[in-house]
Amino acid sequence: GKGIAVFTSGGDSQGMNAAVRAVVRMGMYLGCKVFFIKEGYQGMVDGCENIVEATWASVSSIIHKGGTLIGSARCAEFREQAGRLKAARNLVEKGITNLVVIGGDGSLTGANLFKQEWPELLQILLKQGKISQEQADKCKYLYIAGLVGSIDNDFCGTDMTIGTDSALHRIIEAIDAIVSTAYSHQRTFIMEVMGRHCGYLAVVTALCGEADYVFIPESPPPEDWPDKLCHNAGQRLNIIIIAEGAIDRNGQPITSEKVKQVVVDRLKQDTRITVLGHVQRGGNASAFDRLLACRMGAEAVMALMEATPETEACVISLDGNQAVRLPLMECVKRTQAVAKAMADREFELAVKLRGSR
Ligand code: ATP
């Protein structure tokens, strides 16, 4: 059977463990040897001791858990060729040429680069005498399938990233808890949610939590937003949601503090700020995320099994209710184009590029 390695990289999200479990079990079911690479690219660079064979039982009772039990990291070395050479050598040493990477756009970009560079890396390692010709021949092709693990839902090509649904649950639980006290005490609560340059979490939770106002980066409010926010004196605002990356039309951050000042000055309301922070990434994975991760993980293994030397690196995406394989590079490029459009404050272009998926 083939050797497959699975690792998690970048920020963690709920459902990553469920995805790892699915990869291990589907791989084993199909007769492969499956390995964990601990601590993402850092583990791959550091040495073979971080690459350990998985067993059926090693992924028991992890489907629900948040975080990632095999560890994740940010790895500066992997951004340089010297680091990727070390990583390649360790994989060749273990005879592994099939990778399932679970991470955000950075992790997937790194994986794509690694695949493109693979023949060159093998040549260099051969020249340096660090691997044998036989090893190079055996490991001639690198195959990659990516899964998007992120609570932000900011990746182009998939309807939902693994972790988003669980984060929505966390945020809505918090809103529901706060609303009852907001009503009783005539207080305004400003809640800041994650998402970086993507307002998905903010918009969905604002809708589901009956928020009075929401600020997101993709659609900066009109200049007179303080008037719009407090349009009649004596009005009761209960919940205002702010995406952490919210900005005004000049690109200046709209912070919770700024919004609070407006409400206090104009409506004289007792106003509190809640920054949910890492609570959003914590806790158990929702049913949706568990199922998504199971389906994506199984599909990733299938993609690797069916890959030929001509097959591009793929990302497993949710399209409607189907798991599909899309070219990794195209999705990464489109995701980066969205980030650039956001930075250039071309919001309509950003939303268009992001599309329905
Ligand atoms: P998150 O959504 O949580 O930010 P991410 O996968 O985008 O997740 P990054 O920190 O951007 O997180 O990337 C994780 C790791 O992937 C980096 O630490 C680095 O090792 C590798 N990586 C990212 N970008 C590149 C790149 N352009 N070239 C090589 N490796 C990269």
Q: Select from 330, 313, 337 the least CA-distant residue to 117.
A: 313
Which residues are CB-neighbours of 158 under 8 A, at least 6 positions away? 148, 315, 317, 318, 319, 326, 331, 357
Give one DSSP letter per residue of 141-164, joined into a string: --EEEEEEEESS---TT-S--EEH
145-162: pLDDT as tens digits: 999 999 999 999 999 999
Q: What is the pLDDT of residue 174?
A: 95
182-232: pLDDT as tens digits: 777 778 999 999 998 899 999 999 999 999 999 999 999 999 999 998 886
Q: What percent of the chain has pLDDT over 70?
A: 98
pTM given for the model: 0.95
Spacing, Cα 61 to ligand 1 middle (Å): 28
152 assigned to active site: yes
Give the pLDDT band (50/70/90) at residue 236: confident
Which of the following is catalytic: 46, 152, 165, 289? Answer: 152
Up-side HSE of residue 203: CA atoms within 13 Å toward CB?
A: 11
Spacing, Cα 40 to ligand 1 middle (Å): 10
The pLDDT of 240-255, averaged and rounded, is 94
Nearest CA residue ID for atom 11, ligand 1: 106
**Do residues 246 and 275 touch, judged by C-beta distance below 8 A?**
no
Instruction: Ligand 1, residue 108: give the atom nearest the CA.
Output: 6
69 lines ligand 1 (CB under 6 A): no
Burial class (CB in 10 A: 0-12, 13-18, 19+), 39: buried
Q: What is the pLDDT of residue 169?
A: 97
Spacing, Cα 78 to ligand 1 middle (Å): 9
Q: What distances in angstroms separate CA 332 from CA 105, 230, 317, one per listed residue? A: 6, 40, 12
Residue from 85, 107, 150 to probe ligand 1 pocket by mutation (most atoms less than 8 Å from CB): 107
Q: What is the pLDDT of residue 234?
A: 66
106 lines ligand 1 (CB under 6 A): yes
Spacing, Cα 267 to ligand 1 middle (Å): 44
Which residues are CB-neighbours of 294 under 8 A, at least 6 positions away? 18, 19, 21, 22, 63
Which residues are CB-neighbours of 22 under 8 A, at least 6 positions away? 293, 294, 295, 296, 297, 298, 301
The Cα–Cα gap between 75 and 83 comes to 9
